[in-house]
Amino acid sequence: MTPEERDRLAAEAARLMDNEAFQWALASIRSDALEGLVSTPATDTDTIRDRQTKVKVADEFLDLIEAAIRDGQPRKAAGIV
């Protein structure tokens, strides 16, 4: 990836992190899955795996967005091209 591509990706990632709807949606997916884990019987392994997967995906997605911001140097706000 070129430095310009990294910078563009960083700008887009920063835009997502500043978007309240995006933050709400990701936090809701994660918290709903965690709340579901608490109430899932220990013998229901399929549901446990499903909810653990949702938490893991939400965490990894957020980690990737944060890494993109760290790795790039957004010079200006991302916009529609």
Q: How confident is the model at residue 79 (pLDDT cuts 50, 70, 90)?
A: low
**Does the residue 9 lie in any domain?**
yes
**Does the residue 80 lie in any domain?**
no
13: exposed, middle or buried (Cβ count in 10 Å: 0-12, 13-18, 19+):
buried
Crossing angle of helices 45-71/3-17, nearest 10°?
120
Q: How confident is the model at residue 72 (pLDDT cuts 50, 70, 90)?
A: confident
6: exposed, middle or buried (Cβ count in 10 Å: 0-12, 13-18, 19+):
middle
Q: What Å distances lie between residue 74 and 12, 35, 41, CA to CA?
A: 8, 36, 46
pLDDT tens digits along 16-56: 999 999 999 999 999 999 999 999 999 999 999 999 999 99
Polymer length in residues for the chain: 81
- Alpha-carbon distance of 54 to 60, in angstroms, equals 10
Domains of the chain: total = 1
pLDDT tens digits along 56-65: 999 999 999 9
**pLDDT above 90 for 80:** no
Between 72 and 62, where is the model more confident? 62
